[in-house]
With several copies, the nearest count.
Chain A
Amino acid sequence: MIRMTNVSKKYPNGVTAIKDLSLTIESGEFAYIVGPSGAGKSTFIKMLYHQLRATSGKIEVAGFDLIGMKDRDVPYLRRKIGVVFQDFKLLPRLTVFENVAYAMEVIEAQPQAIKDRVLEVLELVGLKGEIRRFPNELSGGEQQRVAVARAIVNQPEVLIADEPTGNLDPETSDGIMDILEAINQRGTIVLMATHNKQMVNERTHRVLAIEDGRLVRDEKEGDYGYED
């Protein structure tokens, strides 16, 4: 479960990116986060896995109270959350395989289990042939898929994806969405920021619209909702 109560986030440069935002996402939900560029979607997401500390308010994720959390507990929160970062954040010195495996190694999984599972998820995102490559030897879309693979490899309680299909063609995007929905079926919360109007409209889920740091819309079976 994710619960935010009156959360605000002000960056050191004075920008208030999230303003008094409250919402609850129950276990097993799938929610889109939509909104214009610079609305605060990524800021919102970064607070959930404690990359950013909220300036005020309360945040609760997967049983952790994120306000007043000790630094040393943060890794244990993050192990319950899979994240696809908007800028991928792959480790440049590790191969595709090692990047995905790293997320399993930190929880000290068995080597054989790591190997099997990593190959499995890499196959799922269509990168089984590229396991020995380094991130800078991949196309943008391929890097994004590695990021997706890493996020799901530990079968997290919460999956947070910041535009996981921004660099992907519609077909591959659909493949990724299939994966995310399948994970969601198994009870994982999936939270996904996206600009993909068509996808939001066709695969209906809860829609959270953020504009200028405020939650302006929250619909159970919503649509993208912005005209062009």
Chain B
Amino acid sequence: MKTRTLKRHLNDSFKSLKRNGWMSVAAVSAVTVTLLLVGIFFAMIFNFNKISQDIENDVHVRVMIERGTTSKQKDQLQKKLEKIAAVKDVTYSSRKKELNKVVGSYGQSFKMFTGDDNPLYDVYTVSTTKPSQTIKVAKHAKQLKYVYDATYGGNNAKKLFKVMSSVRKWGIGFTLLLLFVAVFLISNTIRITILSRRDEIGIMRLVGATNAYIRWPFLFEGAWVGLLGVIIPIIIIDVGYGWVYRHMALSMASAGYSMLKPGIFLFQLDLTMAVIGIVIGALGSVISMRRFLRI
């Protein structure tokens, strides 16, 4: 294609966008609303994922050390623990400290067991790189020397795991669904606008335009619709996310979790939306007009 022709196509696409008036506005706003939904939902689902991981990562393996283990042997044990695949870090907590924790949640009456009466064990708290590895690590740890027992969170944690992972599975499914919906709705809107212009396309054919020649301005017009449609969602998402991030960060942090940092995440999200809008706008346009490009 000559640059002159390309320029003409670009020009034509602008003109057409402008002269289609309300039709263009309606198409652009369909893209806007769809992508706004996509953007907000994606921001939510990815953060939910992040936080649910934070929660899962809260769950550790408690490795109880047999009584009478010397501190050298403990060091040995620690090294062994650290070598288990998927172990991130290992922290030590004496039985005394452990008792204090129990006192905290089960009441003052445990206080009488301080000192040698303390029925608890010294403990290594082992955190894993992947939450799903917790059970495996616990089993492994149990077989090590000097280990009295190795437990992990218990029933509550298991439940939480299950809920989180099923919510996340549904989240992925819904993300894909939403993507499909967005693609469909945007291309469908473009299709309707093209349907209403079939006569125009027919006339272009009748005065000797090749299909390629007709297609280009429509392709560009679809792309403009997508581009214009993506601007508002990007602004709203970027500003809104920043606001939420600033206002939630503290309360999140106090609960031990954190949202995704705006920088890269927003960039990726914006890019995703722009690609959906522009690519689907352009492709939808070209694909919808195919059937009008006969005879």
Contacts and interface: CB of A to CB of B under 8 A. Distances in A.
Real complex partners, A and B?
A: yes
B207 A78 contact: yes
B275 interface: no
A91 B19 CA distance: 12
Given A108-B2, A150-B207, 12 more contacts: A71-B293, A71-B294, A71-B295, A74-B205, A76-B208, A79-B208, A93-B16, A102-B209, A103-B207, A103-B208, A106-B213, A108-B4
A90 B4 CA distance: 24
A78 B206 contact: yes
Contact of B200 (A79, A91, A150): A91
Contact of A51 (B15, B20, B293, B295): B295
Interface string A155-187: 000000000000000000000000000000000
B210 A72 contact: yes
Interface in A97-147: 102-103, 105-108, 111
B4 A111 contact: yes
A106 B207 contact: yes
A183 B165 CA distance: 79
Query: Which of B5, B205, B207 is packed against the most chain A CB atoms within 10 Å?
Result: B207
A101 B17 CA distance: 19
Contacts of B189: none
A106 B16 contact: no
Q: How large is the interface on B (under 10, 10 to 19, 20 to 34, 35 or more residues)?
A: 20 to 34
Interface string A77-93: 01100010100011111
A111 B20 CA distance: 25
Contacts of B4: 108, 111
Interface string A39-71: 000000000011101000000000000000001
Interface string B205-221: 11111110100000000
A108 B5 contact: yes
Majority SS of interface residues in chain B? helix
B203 interface: yes
A30 to B, nearest CB: 23
Contacts of A85: 206
A75 interface: yes
A107 B203 contact: no
A81 to B, nearest CB: 8
Contacts of A106: 204, 207-210, 213
A92 B197 CA distance: 10
B150 to A, nearest CB: 73
Interface of B: 2, 4-5, 8, 15-16, 19-20, 200, 203-211, 213, 293-295
A89 B210 contact: no
Contacts of B210: 72, 75, 106
A222 B2 CA distance: 49
Contact of A93 (B8, B200, B295): B200
A140 B50 CA distance: 66
Contact of B206 (A51, A53, A107, A154): A51
B5 A107 contact: no
Contact of B207 (A76, A102, A111): A102
Contacts of B295: 50-51, 53, 71, 74
Query: Which of A105, A107, A154 is packed against the most chain B CB atoms within 10 Å?
Result: A105
A111 B5 CA distance: 10
B265 to A, nearest CB: 41
Query: Which of B2, B8, B200, B210 is packed against the most chain A CB atoms within 10 Å?
Result: B210
